[in-house]
Structure 1
Amino acid sequence: MMTSNHNVVQNQQVTGKLPWNERFSYGLSDFACSFTFSLIGTYLMYFYTDIFGITAAAVGTLMLVARVIDALDGPFWGIMIDHTHTKWGRSRPYLLWFNAPFTIFTILCFTTPDLPMNWKIVWAYVTYIGINVFYSAVNIPLTSILPSMTSNPDERVLLSTIRSLFSNFGGTLISVIALPLVTLFGGSDNSRKGFFWLAVMAALVFFVIYLIVFANIREHVKTRSSEKALPIKTSLKALKNNWPWVIVVGLNFIYWLGMQTKGQVTIYFFKYNLERPGLVSLALFFNAVGLISVFITPYVVTKLGKKRTLLTGLGISIGGQLILGLGAQLLNIPIVIIGTIVGNFGNGFVGALIAVLLADAVDYGEWKNNVRAEGIVTSASSFTAKFGMGLGGAITGMLLSAGHYVPNKVQSASALFSIEANYVWVPMIALVISFILILLYRLTPEREKVMRRDLALKHSREDQEDLNAAQ
């Protein structure tokens, strides 16, 4: 048995390929994240405005303030990861340490104490900011650990694909079952109770899964810099002239800004613009179309490369938004559904490859600057994604307020247009800008091969020097 385990370890070190239980567990981690955080992203604004009774303008301001705080907490967690040196590694301990705090705040976000309006807003600020801070603590390590799990580029694409498959499935599942479960848990007349018990269920799913993930995944790539805590000044050197990283964080910011504005007004669009609230779950179910494109991403990457695959995905998503815009103008449900399906198919490619590009940026930082800082490189991307989502939330709130949106009433023409703008046109602009950013990406397959060869030689030389020093 020991010989078998030794062979597995040797195979990982030589080929960079991981056993399926580890691949599966890595993917399962983002199922848990999406299952809980998609509940926040898709339904929390609606919960605040139509159930908890907070104005759209106040909610938009809240989401923007929360993202400003994220400007501190994202890099903070990245620096903490780079400073961490334990028997479990750098990133892996955070999956255990902050599991329970995130679970608790998931429940608190959908808890509605009977308070005056000002104190309701205070409660929303504390719980929403708390959930975002702790989400960074449990999610950033999932990205920062990828370059430490394997240095094999094909294995990284596979791991990111598996993670995206599970993420898409988790987000789609909670989006589809949320409203039926709210009715089941709270009845037709008590949405507050229904959302509370839905949050409890989602939080418990997250808690159990993260314990499983922590138990099964490992940090296999050991370098001289990864074996010690990095000072902040040293960590920041990994970002110097790291142009692949600059492009990825820009993509993360603008892409997720657009996706957030669209996702959080889905229920508004079907309830008020199309007057078919019963179709919300069906529309969200079609997020699962992205599973198809995620699944075929490794194959497409072998044919087109990462950059062209991303451009293809973004181009398809833009086409989907155009179709969706036509359906919104005509109030034609079949056209809206077709646009939704096309857009989600394109989005699958994007979601599958962002983490891979981040892992490449970690390698690039070490190659160019001789500093391997997984935490600061990946946390900055997480921050920009969350800041984009927060700004998207603020834009949604401002547009709804400017359109004079009134919860649970027949909406004015200006309110309906503000909903449509959030659902169609803001995401469209974000996708076009994302496409332009990827056109500027310059880490070609040829240059990547040179980078990996140089890093392999560097790590081999460091290992030999350490071995000689120990003798």
Structure 2
Amino acid sequence: MNKTWQTKWPERISYGLSDAADNLVFQVMTTYLLFFYTDVYGLTPGAVAILFVVARVADVIESPLIGLMIDHTHSKFGKSRPFFLWYALPYVIFAILTFVTPNFSSTGKLIWAYVTYLGLGFFYTAVNLPITSILPTMSQNERELTLLGVIRQFFGSSVQIIVAVFTLPLVAFFGRGNQQHGFLMTITLFGVISLILIWNTFFHVRERFTNKKIAHQSFKQVLPMILKNQPWIRISVVILLFWLVTAIKNQTAIYYFKYTLNKESLVPLANGFTLASLVGVILILRLSSIHGNRKTMLTGIVTAFFGQLILAAGVYLNTLSVLFTGVVVNAIGHGMIVGLVSIMIADTIRYGVTMGIQAEGILAASDNFGVNVGLGVGGLITAGLFQLSGYVPDQAQNAATLSMINWNYVWIPLVIYVVMFAVLWFYDEEVMKSVKAGV
């Protein structure tokens, strides 16, 4: 294997900022869109639940479609890189339109939500999937790929925390009591910054290692490799489960603090404690070099599980200090998990090359597929349970709804962590030896 380092710091930073750019919009959607639709825009939880189902069905098609588009792209810029240039502006436009609140009828509002949210989902995939697919083409040095993956997640997690902490204060600042205007101005600010950062990535990153002989094969040729790529299948399932638990926890947090504790003002503080995820991201550099990627991610899942147990104790003891301690420990585990995702996907892409297929687009699609489907199903579970329990916006909630909030915030995540651990336990890292040997 070529052990030299091909990238320099300006390129590494620009690569990392691509994830920061996407997260400026994505995290608002993940954390606050359900709340925006029910409490600001005026849709019912049931209508939102169906919208999320439809969007996730669309994502099942969109992620592999964008992956195939990348694998069949012939341009002077490469396969993945031009997507940053082509789709950044439409992505930002649809992000802003999603938070526009036209004075339509109930049906008109729902149609507007469908058009804007589905459009946003497509263009998010178009600018986010290339971040993963381009990684294994930037270098052939295993440790350099790990560094690039960690830098990406460091910036992505940093912006995730910034959005979680500052979104509601910015909404209040811009809105002056009008949350509709506040959300629109906030997403516009985030969108403009996102556009600049995505285009910056296009101008500074490079695809260096593409084997033209095996880089543009048909899906019929690619499919057998996918079915034999067991590490890719398992990490894809883990990704989906991770974003499922993330969606359920994040979307329920604001309801927990608003309706269970009657302390909505604590949401930015609680989200601020997720800054600890950066500790988990940084730990990857050391732990993966000693124990490998699989054991490091398993450690992250166990850490997240025990953090969730501490959070549960805080909820049922009604003790904020214990609850926030759980948030911190859980966030460290999450940082270790999500920081390894693009790195392990890159490993499976390079493993595919040893089988004679370079299909970084379709293999990287599992990352976005997991994100979109996990978040959508998580939103469906949350919104659906709200509807079934009799949730009424901006009112004192009944006992069934309060119980449902606790289940979503505490117990369902614990079950998902156990399933994640079981799936990853059987991840066969031995087959990666051919990749690391440079075969």
TM-score class normalised by the smaller sequence: over 0.9
Aligned length: 439
Tell me how far apart the structure 2 counterparts of residues 16 and 241 of structure 1 sit (CA, whole Å): 31
Q: Does 1:216 align with 2:229?
A: no
Q: 1:448 aligns with which of 398, 422, 432?
A: 432
**1:230 is matched by which residue type in structure 2?**
Q
* RMSD over aligned Cα atoms: 1.4
Three-state SS of the structure 2 residue aligned to 1:34 is helix
TM-score, normalization by structure 2 = 0.97
Q: How does 1:42-441 map to 2 (within 5 A)?
A: 42-187=31-176, 189-225=177-213, 229-367=216-354, 369-441=355-427
- For 1:451, give the aligned amino acid: V
Distance 2:99 2:284 in 1: 36
Q: What amino acid sits opposite 1:346 in the alignment?
A: G
Where 2:100 maps in the other structure, the secondary structure is: coil
Asked if 2 retains the 8 angstrom alpha-carbon contact of 1:238 and 1:372, the reply is no
Q: Counterparts of 1:382 and 1:429 in 2: how far apart (Å)?
A: 23
Distance 2:301 2:2 in 1: 35
- Output one character per residue of 1:146-193: Cα deviation in whole Å (capped at 9) or x when no partner: 111112111111111000100000111011111111111010x21100
Q: 2-side partners of 1:108 and 1:350: how far apart?
A: 32
Distance of 2:46 and 2:219 partners within structure 1 = 38
- How much does 1:103 deviate? 0.5
The DSSP-based 3-state class of the residue aligned with 1:265 is: helix
Distance in 1 (CA, whole Å) between partners of 2:238 and 2:7 is: 29
Task: In structure 1, give the amino acid aligned to 2:372.
Answer: K
Deviations 1:62-93, CA, capped at 9 Å, x for gaps: 11110001111100000000000111000000
Please give the alpha-carbon distance, in whole angstroms, between the structure 2 residues aligned to 1:329 and 1:413: 15
Indicate if the aligned counterparts of 1:182 and 1:194 stay in contact, CA closer than 8 A: yes
Does the 8 Å contact 2:81/2:207 carry over to 1? yes
Q: Say if 2:3 and 2:140, in contact at 8 Å, map to a contact too.
A: no
The SS at the match of 2:209 is: coil
Q: In the superposition, relative to structure 1, how do residues 395 and 453 fare at CA in structure 2: closer, same or farther (>3 Å)? A: same
The answer to whether the 8 A contact 2:80-2:133 is kept is yes
Could you tell me how far apart the structure 2 residues matched to 1:111 and 1:225 are?
A: 47
Displacement of 1:232 in angstroms is 2.2
Flag the 1:66–1:302 CA change in 2: closer, same or farther, 3 A. same
Take 1:383 and 1:58, find their aligned partners in 2: how far apart are those partners? 23
In structure 2, what is the Cα distance between the partners aligned to 1:443 and 1:318? 23
Normalised TM-score (structure 1): 0.91
Post-superposition offset of 1:222: 2.7
- Deviation of 1:236 after TM superposition, in Å, equals 2.4
**Structure-2 residue corresponding to 1:458:** none
Alignment deviations for residues 260-286 of structure 1 (CA, whole Å, 9 cap, x no partner): 011112111111111111110001111
Give the Å deviation of 1:231.
Answer: 1.9
Amino acid at match of 1:428: L
* Distance of aligned partners of 1:422 and 1:208 in 2 relative to their CA distance in 1, 3 Å threshold: same
Q: Match of 1:351, as an amino acid?
A: V
Indicate yes or no: 2:22 matched with 1:33: yes
SS in structure 2 of the partner of residue 182 of structure 1 = helix
Ranges in structure 1 where 5+ consecutive residues have no aligned partner: 1-11, 456-471
Superposition deviation, residue 429 in structure 1: 1.5
Structure 2 unaligned blocks of 5 or more:
none
- Secondary structure of the 2:437 match is helix
Any conservation in 1 of the 2:173–2:182 contact (CA below 8 Å)? yes
Instruction: Name the SS of the counterpart of 1:113 in structure 2.
Output: coil
**CA 1:256–1:17 in structure 2 vs 1: closer, same or farther (change >3 Å)?**
same
User: In 1, are the aligned partners of 2:166 and 2:268 still within 8 Å (CA)?
Assistant: yes
- After TM superposition, give the deviation of residue 421 of structure 1 in Å: 1.5
TM-aligned CA deviation for residue 225 of structure 1: 3.4
**Residue aligned with 1:254, SS:** helix
4+ aligned runs moved over 4 Å, structure 1: none
Once residues 142 and 294 of structure 2 are traced to their aligned partners in structure 1, the CA distance between those partners, rounded to angstroms, is 14
Q: Once the 2 structures are TM-superposed, how far is the Cα of residue 240 of structure 1 from its aligned partner?
A: 2.7
CA drift at 1:320:
0.9
Render the CA deviation track for 1:195-225: whole Å, top value 9, x for unaligned. Answer: 0000100100101111111100000113233
Q: Which has more radius of gyration?
A: 1
State whether residues 225 and 371 of structure 1, in contact with CA within 8 Å, keep that contact through their aligned partners in structure 2. Answer: no
